[in-house]
Amino acid sequence: MKAEILTVGTELLMGQTVNTNAAEIAQMLAEIGAGVYYQTIVGDNPQRLEEAVRTAVRRADLVIASGGLGPTEDDLTRETFARVLDAPLERHEGWAQQLRERFARRGRPFSDNNLRQAMVPRGGVLLENDNGTAPGIYLQHPGVVVVLVPGPPHEMRALMREKVLPRLARELVGNRQGAVLISKILRVVGVGESKAVELLEPILSEQENPTIAPLAKTAEVHFRITARALEPDEAHRLIAETAQRIRDQLGDAVYGEDDTTLEKAVGELLAHRGLTVSTAESCTGGLVSHRLTNVPGSSAYFIGGMLTYSDELKVSALGVDPVLIAQYGAVSEQVAEAMAAGVRSATGGDIGISLTGVAGPGGGTAEKPVGLTFIAVADQSGVLCRRYQFWGGREQIKLRASQAALELLRRHLLDDRGG
Amino acid sequence: MKAEILTVGTELLMGQTVNTNAAEIAQMLAEIGAGVYYQTIVGDNPQRLEEAVRTAVRRADLVIASGGLGPTEDDLTRETFARVLDAPLERHEGWAQQLRERFARRGRPFSDNNLRQAMVPRGGVLLENDNGTAPGIYLQHPGVVVVLVPGPPHEMRALMREKVLPRLARELVGNRQGAVLISKILRVVGVGESKAVELLEPILSEQENPTIAPLAKTAEVHFRITARALEPDEAHRLIAETAQRIRDQLGDAVYGEDDTTLEKAVGELLAHRGLTVSTAESCTGGLVSHRLTNVPGSSAYFIGGMLTYSDELKVSALGVDPVLIAQYGAVSEQVAEAMAAGVRSATGGDIGISLTGVAGPGGGTAEKPVGLTFIAVADQSGVLCRRYQFWGGREQIKLRASQAALELLRRHLLDDRGG
């Protein structure tokens, strides 16, 4: 089954509203095994709306349209589908009555315009909307199923979940078309996108079901494995096989699945090992700690940290020897190491992690350019420091540095597994 | 000029990523007076991508495509436009060389796949990308201008702002098409959306040009003022008038314009007054400091901070009296005040700001529910504390708390202006 999502509204077209409806509807359709082949956004212009509707009903088996069901003359979705499908609008007396009663209860005047929201293309089923005045419409037409839902996200969501998806799922099963489509994401860090794709080439090239799609993120790569099958169990089995083959190739560069963030993966390792961590951040200004504490329950392993932005504070709060700063500069291996060891003793944590670097855009020199960062990890057996050269704007450099720090900490916890 | 935005990526089509790029590009095009007539989203499927590209170049005068410019075989945007426009791909040696050098500098292997990102359709102009490896492409073809930009939002944004929009604006002026459409955003904090709209009702109701659109954000509201005129000067004059009327109503709840974030507005006040600040964060885990240090040049006024997640650290790093913690609990007015005063003396800053609260989802009690937060500001004349009750998930509560802390600091700096 080929689905198309049509979202209607000038505010979407002009970018004044981000089109979250299209994304939500696509996810819902994937759950019932309907693949979305197109998404189209069109404004409230009659000709272009009609053209978009004609294209959609021609090329798709299922068209879900959201928006343009309001009571005003600008709201043309109902009328346009009725015309294109040659299914004249008829008044749904039950809904008209409900609308009149609702308006009366709230003491609001009821006009002929409001009756527009009780009009349904011939053959269509009206889906009652508990959250607003525009009902949904479900229309089984030769060759295409058309569903109209209102634009406000909470109204769309309730109608889709409660009325549309159950109908569509029955429809799909009845037709023996379609199957379930299930996805899993593997999250990879420490290996760039092209390198990872190269390593996975033998798997990627032969893969048809499940499909594997790489998604490049900032300083990490995700692989989305999507399996199609008649039953969920079979789809999960296919995904598990492919996931295992990817893990065999990439090893523990795969740090997590689905919505497991890197900070969550690190947190799980810390909790599992019963270790605590504290941070000494300079260039990242608190981002590493912010990420670590985004994880619910992080107070079990995160003690706290020192944001030693100024040199004086590196000395007074972390006990960094001012001679090191004078001799090597604040952005140096020596200072990073002293910071990591210093925060560990100041806070009594098992592990101390530190960052010092040039976040930019100012402050770079030929010797110490913008993006140069030292990250150190200290534990009871000593301290390890690595040098990084990040690129991008200030916020990108901060993000990449935080990513590298979490990955260095993860490596440390993995390598130290046996100890 | 009829513009179409084509966003490419299966993750968008399947709804795994919300299509913020399309909205951002549409807003940018509106600024230069190019009207967006269609938005289309298509996956990485070769046939459907080609169909979408053919449709777009046929019906639009300007096609902006984002996504699908990566180094892998799945990335087909460049190839598809080259085929549809009959403009064979040619290697851009300068960019190929830059890519080789970048990879070498970072010690990463360079493969033939990476060279795909140096290919440009004949007649196209390569637009260098400072934030990634995929350059933009600007192609003036008979009947249509085609612009390709990479999918990662920060790369798209920088390329569009710095390289594409100036070119397009020249193009539009040359053609004498379209009037200018210019927007300004006023950013409002400390007043909710419905209250702000109520206050502005007389202005909003009569407004046609400029238009005023309220945009609700987390713990702030933006008003976008958009003026249409034949010349930029006239549009700017119209905007300035309307902005003044809004400021007259809302007073200093308007904290900034356009991309001035709250942390930037606070930073400007600090810099202007020649004051320094340091932070003592608990529940926000570094987010306030992270936001303050996102502003370039923040080292001039941000000294650093203490992330005192554990009670022990509140005592040892900030000198909070353990009796206060025992008596009132870590989440209390008394502890917040001691933290703010403590970080001020520990760091030697002019102002200390502290937060202590229950970020959730666990840890709430009847007396101290999830979301309860105390925020204090200390300076040489004393300390002021406010109690807040935030709602939402953990990350939402952290964000709302950081917003409230920055606003409290801003109020402190504004009120203290005469002192």
pLDDT at A179: 60
- DSSP secondary structure code for residue B298 in this structure: G
In the prediction, which pLDDT does A98 show? 93
Whether B274 and B155 map to the same domain: the answer is: no
pLDDT at A139 over 80: yes
Q: Give the end of a domain, one of A210, A242, A257.
A: A257
Provide the β-strand partners of residue B212.
B225
CB–CB of B287/A288 below 8 Å?
no
| Rounded mean pLDDT, A202-218 | 82
Is B296 found in the same domain as B384? yes
| pLDDT band per the 50, 70, 90 thresholds, residue B172 | low
Beta sheet of B2-8, edge-to-edge order: A125-127, A136-141, A144-149, A62-66, A2-8, A35-42, B35-42, B2-8, B62-66, B144-149, B136-141, B124-127
CA dist A395 and A304 (Å) reads 22
Residues 6+ apart with CB under 8 A from B404: B219, B373, B375, B386, B388, B390
Query: In chain B, which residue's Cα lies nearest the Cα of A311?
Result: B303
The strand ranges marked E within A189-301 are 211-217, 220-229, 254-257, 277-281
**Residues in A touching B294 (Cβ below 8 Å):** 285, 394-395, 398
Query: A321-328 — which CB contacts under 8 Å span 24+ positions?
Result: none
For the segment A165-172, the average pLDDT, to the nearest whole number, is 78
| Residue whose tokens read 């958009």 | B226
ipTM over 0.90: no
| pLDDT for the residue A176 | 46
Which pLDDT band, with edges at 50, 70 and 90, does A417 fall under? low
- Are residues B186 and B168 part of one domain? no
Give the number of other CB atoms < 10 A from CB of residue A55. Answer: 18
Nearest to B13 among A14, A36, A41 (CB): A36
* Domain termination site, one of B240, B257, B274: B257
Specify whether B253 is located in the same domain as B198.
Answer: yes
With 60 as the cut, is the pLDDT of residue B175 above it?
A: no
Please report where in the chains the tokens 């940290």 appear, as a residue.
A305
DSSP for A136-168, please give it. EEEEEETTEEEEEE-SSHHHHHHHIIIIIHHHH
CA distance B85 to B124: 11
User: How sure is the predictor about A166, in pLDDT bands with cuts at 50, 70 and 90?
Assistant: confident
Give residue A174's pLDDT band: very low, low, confident or very high (50, 70, 90): low
Instruction: Looking at the complex, report in whole angstroms how far the Cα of residue A304 sits from the nearest Cα belonging to chain B.
Output: 5
**Hey, how many other C-beta atoms are within 10 angstroms of the C-beta on A329?**
15
- Which of B247, B147, B137, B142 has its CA nearest to residue B191? B247
For residues B86 and B122, membership in a common domain is answered with yes
**What is the enclosing helix (H) or strand (E) of B213?**
strand B211-217
d(CA B99, CA A222): 23
pLDDT higher than threshold 80 for residue A178 = no
Mean pLDDT check: name the lowest of B35-44, B161-170, B295-304: B161-170
Do B161 and B302 share a domain, yes or no? no
CA dist B9 and B70 (Å) reads 11
Give the mean pLDDT of A21-40. 86
A55 vs A69: CA distance, rounded Å:
20
Distance from CA of A258 to the nearest CA of B (A): 11
pTM over 0.80: no
Contact status of B14 with chain A (Cβ, < 8 Å): yes
Are residues B205 and B155 located together in one domain of the fold?
no
- Whole-angstrom distance, CA of residue B79 vs CA of residue B63: 15
Q: What is the rounded CA–CA span in Å between residue B169 and residue B175?
A: 10
Answer whether residue A316 shows pLDDT above 50: yes
- Report residue B375: phi and psi, to 5°: -125, 130
- Minimal CA–CA distance to B265: which of B418, B373, B419, B403? B403
* Residues in chain A closer than 8 A to B307 (CB atoms): 279, 286, 289, 304-307
> What's the pLDDT score for residue B206?
77
| Residue A419 pLDDT | 43
| Chain segment B274-294, per-residue pLDDT in tens | 999 999 999 999 999 999 999
Q: Residue A271 corresponds to which tokens in the numbers above?
A: 């909790």
Q: B39 to chain A: which residues are within 8 Å by CB?
A: 12-13, 19, 40-42
Is A178 or A4 the better-scoring residue by pLDDT?
A: A4
The pLDDT assigned to B176 comes to 46
> Picking from B164-178, B215-229, B278-292, B310-324, which range would have the lowest pLDDT averaged per residue?
B164-178
| A residues 163..202 contacting B (CB < 8 A) | 183, 192-195, 197-198
What single string gives the DSSP state of each residue in A340-385?
A: HHHHHHHHT-SEEEEEEE--SSS---SSS-TTEEEEEEEETTEEEE
A378 close to A337: Cβ distance less than 8 angstroms: yes
Residues B228 and B300 in one domain: no
Q: Which of A16, A197, A292 sits opposite B285 (nearest CB)?
A: A292
CA distances for B337 relative to B343, B352, B377, angstroms? 10, 10, 7
Pairing of strands A302-308, A277-281: parallel
The b/e string for B111-127 (b: 16+ C-beta within 10 A; e otherwise) is eebbebbbbbbeebebb
Q: Which residue in the set A226, A294, A304 is minimally distant from B313, CB to CB?
A: A304
C-alpha span between A306 and A355 (Å, rounded)? 11
Residues A64 and A25 sit within 8 Å (Cβ to Cβ): yes
Query: Which residues have C-beta within 8 Å of that of residue A303, sequence separation ≥ 6?
Result: A276, A277, A278, A347, A348, A349, B309, B310, B312, B313
List the CATH number of the domain containing A245.
3.30.70.2860
Q: Which of residues 199-218 of B touch A (CB under 8 A)?
A: 213, 215
Percent of all residues in chain B with a pLDDT value above 90, rounded to a whole number: 69
Q: For position B153, what pLDDT does the model report? A: 93
Cα(A166)–Cα(A164) distance, integer angstroms: 6
| Sign of the dihedral defined by the CA atoms of residues B194, B195, B196, B197, in that order | positive
Q: Please give the tally of structural domains in chain B.
A: 3
The answer to whether B132 touches B155, Cβ cutoff 8 Å, is yes
**Tokens for B282?**
């608990």
Domain boundary among B257, B292, B318: B257
User: Do A85 and A167 share a structural domain?
Assistant: yes
What is the domain range of residue A146?
Answer: 2-175
Q: Does residue B210 have a cis bond before it (omega within 30 degrees)?
A: yes
On average, the pLDDT of chain A sits at 91
- Residue B43 main-chain phi, psi, to 5 deg: -85, -165
CA distances from B418 to B318, B412, B414, B415 (A): 30, 11, 9, 8
Print burial letters for B147-160: b (CB count within 10 Å at least 16), e (below 16): bbbbbbebbbbbbb
Mean pLDDT, rounded, for B329-348: 97
Q: Residues A9, A115: one domain?
A: yes
Cβ atoms < 10 Å from Cβ of A364 = 15
Q: Which CATH number is B150's domain given?
A: 3.40.980.10
E strands within B230-380? 254-257, 277-281, 302-308, 351-357, 372-379
Residue A220 bridge partners (DSSP): A217
Q: Please say whether the dihedral angle defined by the alpha carbons of residues A260, A265, A271 and A277, taken in this order, is positive or negative.
A: negative
Please check the confidence at residue B1 and state whether its pLDDT lies above 90: no
CA distance A158 to B355: 38
**Across the interface, do B72 and A299 touch by the CB < 8 Å criterion?**
no
Report the SS3 class of residue B73.
coil
Looking at the fold, whether A196 and A286 belong to one and the same domain comes out as no
The verdict on B8 and B152 lying in the same domain is: yes
Overall average pLDDT of the A266-282 stretch:
97
**Residue A352's beta-bridge partner residues?**
A278, A378
Over the stretch B241-252, which tens digit does the pLDDT of each residue have?
999 999 999 999
Q: Which CATH number characterizes residue B408's domain?
A: 3.90.950.20
Residue of B nearest to A181 (CA): B14
